Structures are given as structure tokens and as C-alpha cells.
Amino acid sequence: MMAFYFSRIVEIFPFFLKGLWMTTQIAFISLFTCTILGFIFGILRSGKNIILKRLVGVYVAFVRGTPFVVQVFIVFFILPEWGIQLKAFQAALLAMAIMGSAFICEIVAGGISAISKGQWEAGTASGLTLIQQLRLVVIPQAMKVILPPLVGQYVLLIKDTSVVSVIGVMELTRVGWVTVMRIPEGLMVFSLVGALYFVISYPLILLSNYLERRMAV
Amino acid sequence: MLADFNFRIIFEYLPLFLTGLRSTFLISIVSIILALVTGTIACAGRISSIKLLKYPAIAYIEIIRSTPLLVQIYFLYFGLPTLGIRVPEIQTGIIALMLNSGAYIAEIIRAGITSVDDGQIEAGVSSGLNYFQRMRFIILPQALGVTVPPLLGQSIVLVKDSALLSLISVMELTRCGQTMTSERFMPTEAFLTVAFFYMCIYFCLKSLADWSQKKLIFREAY
């Protein structure tokens, strides 16, 4: 019986690869948007504008305080009530962007706060504008603090893409779920799914470990 | 947008939400205790010099850390019955959370132990303390300060992760939101209430974590 199921799984393996492709797509798009948004929010969070700072703080607290699956449900079920119709794929990307940017925001804000005030002052004294100070002085130095946890966060984000399967996005976990309904061999199916996730995220974990060692002072 | 937010329906469903909150709470506490045990064992294996213990521990930690929790939950939920093991969903969920958090906790504890300087251990050896005495009097008291704040961080993650158990129909907080949505179709009220309860748990644990962090700095000042 095992052998029979195994051959069935080999047969439908292209289906898994499709799921893997979908996961990769969601992961790449959301890593990209999360990084950009996260940096913007992180800079605002460590900026001088009190109102923006507080707003970002509330946003971060909300995202960090609630489970991602609840956020996915909020995006997918509540936005349509307010007249914003989203397809599952778009809702997944939006939820990922909301969640990821909040976590990256904290990492970036932490990195910026690690830079001493003297660096900012030196920038001002050299006649750099605020943007130039950030771009040329602060961010390059902060990157040393930001990079290792950022890559670690990327791993978490890739793994969190599995949660968007709950709204029916046909990614890897969903493929496993659909398959296990037809081929009742849970161990085999989800080992395969797990192995495919391992292939994407393990290199990043190694990179994160390497950066951590490299950047450690 | 929120003009027709219906508080009455929330009050009507409040008992359901409270039972959900209670089971989220219980699941989290049981899982975190079991995960601490698992993590300690895995960490002991990870740092031991016996290869037969070390490599399985490394494999366990790395596999857990590089696959999503949801896949691990499904693996147990759909996989255990094929092995002939039939347990209720809630136990499957607790096992999944235990194994998942255990791997992260193992790494946290390891970071704590390796943060203790080698010289301290050598001093212990030369004072004639045996392994357990060194652990008890030198390493653990120092390592605990480094491990407690991230452990509380991990328990925040675990509480949030327990929301995924709703997908294998464990009746916890998120599942209550889903139930209310399917019965009344009021997702706004349902999921914002769920989010509110999670926020409450989050802020309690967060202030505890911040407090322990402050205590830690206080201890280092000595």
C-alpha cells in the first residue's frame, strides 16, 4: 500500500512544484515589499515626528500582538465588508506586507538607535540634509546591526507564507492539504512539503548564521 | 466603516470567546512547559560531545527551524493516524507546539550557556567542582539572566502560534472567531474581538519580558 501511495505521489509531483513556485512568488514579492515598507516605517519610528512615531508604534504593536492567521482573516474577510474586494492572492500579499513590514520596522529602528548621536551631528555639521545623513552616514553603519536579524526575519516570513493557505491560495502547504485528502498518507505528503520548504529556507538560515558570526564585533 | 459595529453580538458571544481564551491560555501554558523540557533535553544533546546525541539534536533543531509550523501541525494531524496513533486534535496541537518551540528554546538556552565565559568554567574546574556543581553554581545562574527575556519572547510567539491550531479544529480563541463568522457572518466583530484578546495576552507577556530585561541589567550592574 505504501509503495502504491508513493508512486501516486511521484505521479502528482509536478503539482507540488507548482505549489513551490507559488510559495516562491509570494515569498519574493512580499520580502521585497516588506523590506521597503519596513525601512520606511523604521526610519519614521526613529524619527523626530512624534505623531508619525506613535502611529507606527501602534501599528507595530497591533501586528506583533496578534497572530498572523488572525491578520490574514481580517484582511480577507473584513476588507470586503468595507468595499475593498481582493482576490485571495492579493489578500495574501497584503497580509504578508502588513505583517512583515512591522517586524522589519522594529529591526531597522533597533539598528538606527544603535548609531550614536554624534554621527548624526557630524552629518549636520558637514552640511548634509536629513535624507543624506540617513543614506550616507546612518544606514550604512546600521546595516551591520540590521542585516543578521533581517535575514533571520526573511526565513520567518518565508515560513509564514504557509499560513496564507487558509484563504485558499494554492501554495505549497495548500497543495499538501489538498493532496492528503486524496492520498491518505499524511507522513509522506507532509514530509515532502516540509522537504521543499527546507530547500528554500535552509540556505537562508545558513546565511543568517554566517552573517551573525561575521558581523559580531 | 465601523459605524455599524455591533457590540451586542459580541456580548452575546462573549461566553464563547471566554472559553476560547481559556483554552488558548491552557494550551499555551502546557505547551510552553513541555517545550521547556524538550528544549532543555535538545540543548543538552546539542552541546554534548557524544556524536550519537549531538547529531540527532542538530537534525531536530534544524528541521524544525526550517519548516513552517503549519506544515508540522498538518504532518502530525494527518500523519499520526497513518501510524495508527489516534489522539484528540488538542493533543496533536500541543505536541506540535511543544516540538516547534522546543527547537527554538534549545537554541535560546544554548546561546545562554555559551554566553558564559570559558574562564568561569575553568575556574569552577580548578575549584574542584564537579559537572553538576559547575552547572548549578556557576553556569546556570549567569545563563538564566541571558535566557529569560528571549524565553518570554518565545512564549509570546507560542501564544500567537497556538492560533494555528484553529485549523485542525481545536476550539481555541481564533476558532471561536471562525465559529461566530460562520454562524452570523460578522467577520469584523468576530476577528477584531479575537485580535483584542490576543493583544491583551501580548501586552501582559510583553511587560513581563520588558521587566525581566530591566532586572537583567540591574543584575549585571553588580
Is the backbone of residue A168 left (phi > 0), alpha (psi -120 to 50) or beta?
left
DSSP A166: G
- Per-residue pLDDT band for A18 (boundaries 50, 70, 90) equals very high
Report d(CA B160, CA B158) in Å as an integer. Answer: 5
Q: CATH code at B145?
A: 1.10.3720.10
Report d(CA B210, CA B149) in Å as an integer. Answer: 8
Residue whose entry in the numeric block shows the C-alpha cell 509522506: A188
Report d(CA A36, CA A51) in Å as an integer. Answer: 21
pLDDT in tens, A135-182: 888 888 888 889 989 999 999 999 999 999 999 899 999 999 999 888
Q: Is A64 on the interface with B (CB under 8 A)?
A: yes
Nearby residues of B26 by Cβ (< 8 Å), 6 or more positions away:
none
Nearest to B191 among A73, A194, A205 (CB): A73
Q: Considering the domain boundaries, does residue B170 fall inside one?
A: yes
CB A167 within 8 A of CB A91: yes
Please give the pLDDT value at position A6: 79
Please give the pLDDT value at position B204: 93
Please give the pLDDT value at position B221: 41
Question: What burial letters (b/e) apply to A8-40, b meaning 16+ CB within 10 Å?
Answer: bbeeeeeebeebbebbbebbeebbebbbebbbe
- pLDDT score of A2 more than 80: no
Number of domains into which chain A is organized: 1
Q: Considering the domain boundaries, does residue A160 fall inside one?
A: yes
User: Residue B217 burial (CB < 10 Å; 0-12/13-18/19+)?
Assistant: exposed
Q: CATH code at A81?
A: 1.10.3720.10
Q: Considering the domain boundaries, does residue A168 fall inside one?
A: yes
pLDDT in tens, A20-48: 999 999 999 999 999 999 999 999 998 88
Q: How many CB atoms lie within 10 A of CB B216?
A: 16
- Per-residue pLDDT band for B95 (boundaries 50, 70, 90) equals very high
Q: Is B179 on the interface with A (CB under 8 A)?
A: no
pLDDT in tens, A176-213: 999 988 888 888 899 999 999 999 999 988 998 888 88
- Per-residue pLDDT band for B86 (boundaries 50, 70, 90) equals confident
C-alpha distance from residue B203 to each of A35, B152, B159, B195, B216 (Å): 26, 12, 12, 12, 20
Q: Is A81 on the interface with B (CB under 8 A)?
A: yes
Q: Considering the domain boundaries, does residue A2 fall inside one?
A: no
CB B198 within 8 A of CB A67: yes
* β strands within A48-182, DSSP E: none
Please give the pLDDT value at position A105: 95
pLDDT in tens, B178-190: 998 888 888 888 8
CB B158 within 8 A of CB B102: no
Report d(CA B206, CA A66) in Å as an integer. Answer: 12
Q: Which of A162, A123, A167, A165 is nearest to A141 (CA)?
A: A123
CB A181 within 8 A of CB A33: no
Q: Is A162 on the interface with B (CB under 8 A)?
A: yes
Please give the pLDDT value at position B218: 45
With CA atoms as reference, the chain A residue closest to B193 would be A70
- pLDDT score of A125 more than 80: yes
Q: Considering the domain boundaries, does residue B185 fall inside one?
A: yes
Residues 92-121 of A with CB under 8 A from B: none
Residues of A in contact with B80 (CB under 8 A): 186
In the predicted model, what is the mean pLDDT of chain A? 90
Q: Considering the domain boundaries, does residue A124 fall inside one?
A: yes
Please give the pLDDT value at position B214: 78
Q: Do A69 and B167 touch (CB under 8 A)?
A: yes
DSSP A129: -
Q: Is B71 on the interface with A (CB under 8 A)?
A: yes
Number of domains into which chain B is organized: 1
pLDDT in tens, B14-40: 889 999 999 999 999 999 999 999 999
Q: Considering the domain boundaries, does residue B9 fall inside one?
A: no
Residues 191-210 of A with CB under 8 A from B: 191, 193-194, 197-198, 201-202, 205
Q: Is A69 or A5 the better-scoring residue by pLDDT?
A: A69
| Domain assignment of residue B42, given as a range | 21-220
Residue whose entry in the numeric block shows the C-alpha cell 552640511: A127
Report d(CA B72, CA B74) in Å as an integer. Answer: 5
Q: Considering the domain boundaries, does residue A3 fall inside one?
A: no
Report d(CA B150, CA B145) in Å as an integer. Answer: 10
| Domain assignment of residue A67, given as a range | 14-215
Report d(CA B13, CA B17) in Å as an integer. Answer: 6
Q: Do B195 and A74 touch (CB under 8 A)?
A: yes
Q: How many CB atoms lie within 10 A of CB B86?
A: 8
Q: Considering the domain boundaries, does residue A36 fall inside one?
A: yes
Residues of B in contact with A186 (CB under 8 A): 74-75, 77-82
